[in-house]
Structure 1
Amino acid sequence: MRPRILTPLAPAAVLLLAGCSGSGGDAETTAPPMRLVAYDDCDSLLGGLRTATSQRVGPYGLDGATPYGATLDGGMARSKAMAPNAPDAQAAPAEQDAAASHSGTNTHEPDADEPDLVKTDGRRIVALAGRRLQVVDAASRKVTGTLDLPDRTRLGPGGGGNAQLLLSGDRALVLSPENPVMTRGPDDGAMPVPAAPRTRLTLVDLAGTPKVAGTMSTRSTYVDARQTGSVARVVVQSAPQIRFPVPPGGRAPGRAAVERNRETVRDAPLDAWLPTFQVSGPSGTAKTYTVPCEQVSRPASYTGTTMLTVLTLDLARGLGDPAPVSVAADGRTVYGTGSSLYITGTPPVPPRPDRPPEVRPVAAERTDVHKFEIRGPGRPRYAASGSVAGSLLNQYSMSEYGGNLRIATTTTPVSAGVRRDLERPAATAAPSPPHSESAVRVLAQHGARLDLAGEIGGLGRGERIYAVRFLGPAAYVVTFRQVDPLYVVDLKNPARPRVSGELKISGYSAYLHPMADGRLLGVGQDAGPSGRVRGTQVSLFDVSAAPRRVGAFKLPGSSAQAEFDPHAFLYWPRTGLTVVPVTRGATGASEALVLKVDGGGVRRLGSVEHPGNDYAGSIRRSLLVGGTLWTFSDAGARATDAASLGQGAWLPFTAG
């Protein structure tokens, strides 16, 4: 059966994904009318995937697939933020009463929890360190349980990887990317295939002695996850597993090799594209799930090779059918609320008909946005898609407000001269430097489309975005090259955004945190007149009227983890206690810088350190439970009195 072409407003019982083809112009990123391709059966799906993939092959195989082992922009190392979460909504009332007042993971939205290295419900603390899951009783300040995780699980920077966890009641979900780099040799006349990345999910029962309650593995790259209540949505991305023949003599004979590879694609089975999910229970019984063909679709104009899949897992019920939904699209950044999930990616540029397929085209900057509705525990429902010019920094570049999506991007146009230079030998190329600028756009949903409703551009010409924070009907955008312009964008009228204020200071903020009474806290770097950074800078801004800086603290020769991962940042609004883990100079010495932030400014209260000067002793997280400040590294946890900063108990973690 042939695929059905539907208009954006046509009803459909299956997931429909819209897409936009790239433009060859410098700044043309206008989306063409969307055509949505849905499949009635597996034969039509296989035909569509073969056709799209064959357009991306070159003489050595696929062109444009996500490299195995690569870190996606939306992966664990991306910046995240903001408001502390409330105690677990799934906990019983009596358990909530027994739990001490505590901080939670800094998340972008308070109703969408994010994976991190440490979680707490106010009674117990669960941490990942030393290839083990460590359970700490907050009241007795003792490690009450440990659990060895699978051999290939890599825990955080100290363990060489990026495993993180989610917590709901007595269940923890450990999300473990596995990105091998070894390849298989050509033992049968085929090109080597990179060892496929895998994502392993381990459900842990924390009642009593920690034990594995189930596992799930898939031959896909982990992108990100969000959790509301006990339900987690996990986003993974996969590339087709196709082995291409070796060109004769090890050299590519141009078009003949391309056509040979296209034949290989046309013969590939459906399971070369569709990801599978192997689920094992505590008894070791295993079951394999795959994506139903009617739950896969692609944009009519899409000519890429990667596939995004959203999994739904209820931690309270255990691991079972993940109800996968797949779309043939790229995904790098995830932003979620309690009811919506947005996935953005940079699509590949379709091959140009006027040049051989082995010549790679120059990509135009564009970000595609796909929205899913995630109300309730069931399978996500595709809602709409759109496209904007430029690239976004991280998930804080997006915000859902009043039914619209606000998004901030930076565009670096490529001139026709640069494109010609890129096609000539490097020795003769003399491209002029690109000129970047940033913009804030508002996208409104109309049926299955996210259409442009308003925009304001021209922010930070020649610079790029370093931080974004949307607060109510306003956006705060930091760009940087030599000085830090903090732009205030008024979004009260979504159709006519306007810049209502601007402040220039030395250095920049890479993380913005909302405060009370019209204040905004920025964590970043101080810089000299030439733009050379000099050390950590924490700035307090008053943005209630014309923006101005009302306080600052500087620590020369250091960098703050919150610049790169705001999960490392802690702010306790009741007292103004602020904790920023920093690393000093070339020695790599680490400490948790403790500050007091209030209406009068920013001042240093002290610091917390862990034993040892190696990487294992680097403090990566902090949280508050009652009156105790907890800090965490791979080496262990320290409990410190939050009022006096008197050094308390040191709990060493045993290595796995």
Structure 2
Amino acid sequence: MSPARVLGLALVAGLALVTGCTAEPVPVPPPDRHVPAGGFRLVAFDSCPEALRQLKTAAKAYVGPWGLGPNGDMRTFGGVDQAAGPATAGRADAAPKSYSGTNTHEAGADEPDLVKTDGKRIVTVQHGKLYVVDPATRRLTGKLELAPGADGFRGTEDGLLLHGDRALVLLRAGVAKPAVGGGGGRVADAPTPDGIVGPRLVMVDLSGQPKILGEYRIDGNLVDARQVGTMVRVVVRSAPRLNFPHPQQATDEQRTAANREIIDNATVDDWLPRYEVTSDGRTSAGRVGCERVSRPTAYSGTSLVTMLSFDLGTAALGAGDPVTVIADGDTVYSNGPRLYVANDQRWRVLPTLTARNIAPDPEDETTEIYQFDISGAGAPRYVADASVPGWLINQYAMSEWDGHLRVATTSGRTWGNKPDSTSSVHVLRADGTALTQVGKVTGLGKGERIYAVRFVGGTGYVVTFRRTDPLYTVDLRDPGAPKVSGELKINGYSAYLHPAGEGRLLGVGQEASDQGRVQGTQLSLFDVADPARPTRIAQYHVKQGHSEVEFDPHAFLYWPAERLVVVPLTVYGKGMPSNVALALRAGDGGFTEVARIDHTLGTGRTAGFTPIRRSLVVDGVLWTVSAAGLKATSLSTMKTLGWLRTT
């Protein structure tokens, strides 16, 4: 019996009780059409042979002359959500008073980022290296090379999670493999001996000089991760490892037939993710067991989503306790006890439809959502699923409150001269193994798409944009009868919304002309105390400016005690762009600029090439982080206290 199967037996019984088992023929959606809303349920396979048979049937119905997916795209590219999309510790005032944590969606569900602090140490990982800083003495106390030879931009974003003296570093695919148990020797950038090319998870001991305790590698691409207490849940997307030839002198029919033959000859090992665990100098390998895999009632067989579980309270990573669903996965949201994985069909349908200027069919505009219970220390337990019309902009388009999941989506054509798009908010509640819609609001922003969403308690805030920025307030206190309370139209848009105390909402985005042409970074302070009459009471505009906050909210800092807003800012103009951390105080009378902090390393042609990525507060000191190093700035005087170079 394989190690994966042994590990899987504990979950199988629970999953089977929830989903049941079936050997019925698998319904396969045609290549150009997808499952209508509500038309699927997760079920388990009876056996490996049955799983392989059904996977082959599904894949052969979907494969084309160039492989799986549009133009042979097997959906194996990496990246967090479109933004990965954009991702505060719940309410803005929920952070501890002595230090700021990562700006996350929900309190109690931490998210990986390139820098972490627990108030006692600052840990950052960039370009394959981990650094530890003592904020009290403002000294660099540790350095560890995780991916030798990875200097410079690698096209991927690493992240880490922190608990006590343990850090879990998430390195995306395509970097070198470290040596375990020491300072990290130089090893070639190559697959594992079993050919695994995928994300690497590295557990690091921070109790002294940082050292690697173990690592885990799995086929696929990292989607996202969440940490609740000591438990970390990692979501990985993978595809079958099938090599489709592209003969130049063949017709499409011949290519498709050859690709179907390749699928016929595939084994279950070609589909299921393989993993490798290294600890105490020993490496063991395995793969996700068939009994660990469940499927919707309709699927294409081209993508699998695996959720892994690791406990940072232990000294070893283990085998990840994997749970796999035959589905796609783009967006992860968690409120702590529950975790949701969502995927939409844009990657399948929009390239073709855009080229032909055709509006999507409603059946093409479906986002599937899977709900898992992660409240225990064991493997995630599948609870329910749903499908809603439209697609999500990022994880902030989902929020669970009072037992209901609120989901904001955009449907329809958003391009061309005659866009027919519209946006909605759906309210769902778990009913057995289904998330059933109990209410909805439709008709938001006709001809526009969603740019930002934030749910705060029983109120939703939705920003749509094409030429102007309507900010909608949505009353969700009665889940069965949600309604639009108010609307504010202003030029430009907010790409990120952040609660800033009672009746206040901060927005970061772009100013725009009456014709919708963007004109530079814009920060807005909204008065939303009266949901029926939202108003903007303060605005700060930087011409030709852009901020990382617009697509990654981890870059945003709001320190309630000082009403301090800090955002990274790049300003384009004559010559080279300038890169700073812009610090503002947000008052009802307006924004007051208090500092522009830079990490300039030289003068003339060498200056201005070091964008600041993050900012955090520890004991009255504002720390800013870039690839060049960390700078300490006094919160009270905004004078530089120290500079730690990491390059």
Aligned to 2:626: 633
Aligned to 2:60: 54
Aligned to 1:354: none
Aligned to 1:172: 167
1:70 paired residue among 77, 81, 106: 77
CA distance in structure 1 between the aligned counterparts of 2:344 and 2:329, rounded to whole angstroms: 7
Amino acid at match of 2:293: V
Residues 272/345 of structure 1: CA separation in 2 closer, same or farther (3 Å cut): same
* 1:560 correspondence with 2:547: yes
> Structure 1 residue 589: deviation in Å?
1.2
CA contact (8 A) 2:623 2:633 kept: yes
SS of corresponding position for 1:201: strand
SS of corresponding position for 1:111: coil
Aligned to 1:572: 559
1:508 paired residue among 478, 493, 498: 493
CA distance in structure 2 between the aligned counterparts of 1:61 and 1:306, rounded to whole angstroms: 13
Amino acid at match of 2:258: R
Residues 86/474 of structure 1: CA separation in 2 closer, same or farther (3 Å cut): closer
SS of corresponding position for 1:209: coil
Residues 213/255 of structure 1: CA separation in 2 closer, same or farther (3 Å cut): same
Residues 347/436 of structure 1: CA separation in 2 closer, same or farther (3 Å cut): closer
1:472 paired residue among 457, 482, 494: 457
> Structure 1 residue 509: deviation in Å?
0.7
Residues 603/219 of structure 1: CA separation in 2 closer, same or farther (3 Å cut): same
2:344 paired residue among 343, 346, 369: 346
Amino acid at match of 2:68: L
> Structure 1 residue 381: deviation in Å?
0.3
CA contact (8 A) 1:37 1:299 kept: yes
1:542-564: CA deviation from partner (whole Å, max 9, x where unpaired): 11111011111112221121111
What is the count of residue pairs matched by the alignment?
A: 592
SS of corresponding position for 1:265: helix
Equivalent residue runs for 1:38-437 within 5 Å: 38-64=44-70, 67=74, 70-72=77-79, 74=81, 77-83=84-90, 101-151=98-148, 158-179=153-174, 197-245=197-245, 247=247, 250-281=248-279, 283-317=280-314, 318-347=316-345, 364-413=364-413, 433-437=418-422
Amino acid at match of 1:313: F
> Structure 1 residue 151: deviation in Å?
3.3
CA distance in structure 2 between the aligned counterparts of 1:610 and 1:246, rounded to whole angstroms: 49
Gaps of 5+ in 1: 1-9, 89-98, 181-194, 352-359, 419-430
Amino acid at match of 1:345: N
CA contact (8 A) 1:329 1:347 kept: no
CA contact (8 A) 2:41 2:385 kept: no
CA contact (8 A) 2:509 2:550 kept: yes
1:646 paired residue among 608, 616, 639: 639
SS of corresponding position for 2:59: helix
Give the TM-score of the pair, scaled to structure 2: 0.85
1:503-545: CA deviation from partner (whole Å, max 9, x where unpaired): 0111111110001121101111111111111111111111111
Segment of structure 1 superposing worse, 292-301 or 254-263: 254-263
Segment of structure 1 superposing worse, 125-134 or 511-520: 125-134
Aligned to 1:184: none
CA distance in structure 1 between the aligned counterparts of 2:640 and 2:444, rounded to whole angstroms: 46
Segment of structure 1 superposing worse, 202-211 or 609-618: 609-618
Aligned to 2:598: 609
Aligned to 2:536: 549
> Structure 1 residue 179: deviation in Å?
4.5
> Structure 1 residue 616: deviation in Å?
5.5
> Structure 1 residue 245: deviation in Å?
4.9
Equivalent residue runs for 1:13-32 within 5 Å: 13=17, 30-31=36-37
Residues 629/32 of structure 1: CA separation in 2 closer, same or farther (3 Å cut): closer
1:40-63: CA deviation from partner (whole Å, max 9, x where unpaired): 221111111111111121223323
Amino acid at match of 1:236: V
Amino acid at match of 1:495: G
Aligned to 1:192: none
> Structure 1 residue 348: deviation in Å?
8.6
> Structure 1 residue 604: deviation in Å?
1.1
1:470-494: CA deviation from partner (whole Å, max 9, x where unpaired): 0111100011111111000111111
CA contact (8 A) 1:483 1:507 kept: yes
Residues 149/25 of structure 1: CA separation in 2 closer, same or farther (3 Å cut): closer
CA distance in structure 2 between the aligned counterparts of 1:305 and 1:634, rounded to whole angstroms: 37
* 1:451 correspondence with 2:444: no
Amino acid at match of 1:478: V
Aligned to 2:467: 482
CA distance in structure 2 between the aligned counterparts of 1:336 and 1:446, rounded to whole angstroms: 19
Segment of structure 1 superposing worse, 38-47 or 102-111: 38-47
CA distance in structure 2 between the aligned counterparts of 1:311 and 1:22, rounded to whole angstroms: 28
CA contact (8 A) 1:129 1:635 kept: no
Identity, in percent, stands at 45
Residues 637/36 of structure 1: CA separation in 2 closer, same or farther (3 Å cut): closer
CA contact (8 A) 1:204 1:211 kept: yes
Gaps of 5+ in 2: 1-13, 176-194, 350-357
CA distance in structure 2 between the aligned counterparts of 1:51 and 1:25, rounded to whole angstroms: 16
CA contact (8 A) 1:130 1:653 kept: no
> Structure 1 residue 434: deviation in Å?
3.2
CA contact (8 A) 1:437 1:457 kept: yes
1:3-29: CA deviation from partner (whole Å, max 9, x where unpaired): xxxxxxx99336679999879999x98
CA distance in structure 1 between the aligned counterparts of 2:59 and 2:100, rounded to whole angstroms: 47
Equivalent residue runs for 1:591-606 within 5 Å: 591-606=580-595
CA distance in structure 1 between the aligned counterparts of 2:313 and 2:91, rounded to whole angstroms: 23
Segment of structure 1 superposing worse, 130-139 or 221-230: 130-139
CA distance in structure 2 between the aligned counterparts of 1:85 and 1:311, rounded to whole angstroms: 30
CA contact (8 A) 1:106 1:569 kept: yes
Amino acid at match of 2:623: W
CA distance in structure 2 between the aligned counterparts of 1:25 and 1:316, rounded to whole angstroms: 47
Give the TM-score of the pair, scaled to structure 1: 0.84
CA distance in structure 2 between the aligned counterparts of 1:341 and 1:20, rounded to whole angstroms: 27
Amino acid at match of 2:480: A
Residues 124/378 of structure 1: CA separation in 2 closer, same or farther (3 Å cut): same
> Structure 1 residue 32: deviation in Å?
5.2
CA contact (8 A) 2:614 2:626 kept: yes
CA distance in structure 1 between the aligned counterparts of 2:165 and 2:335, rounded to whole angstroms: 24
Amino acid at match of 1:652: R
Aligned to 1:92: none
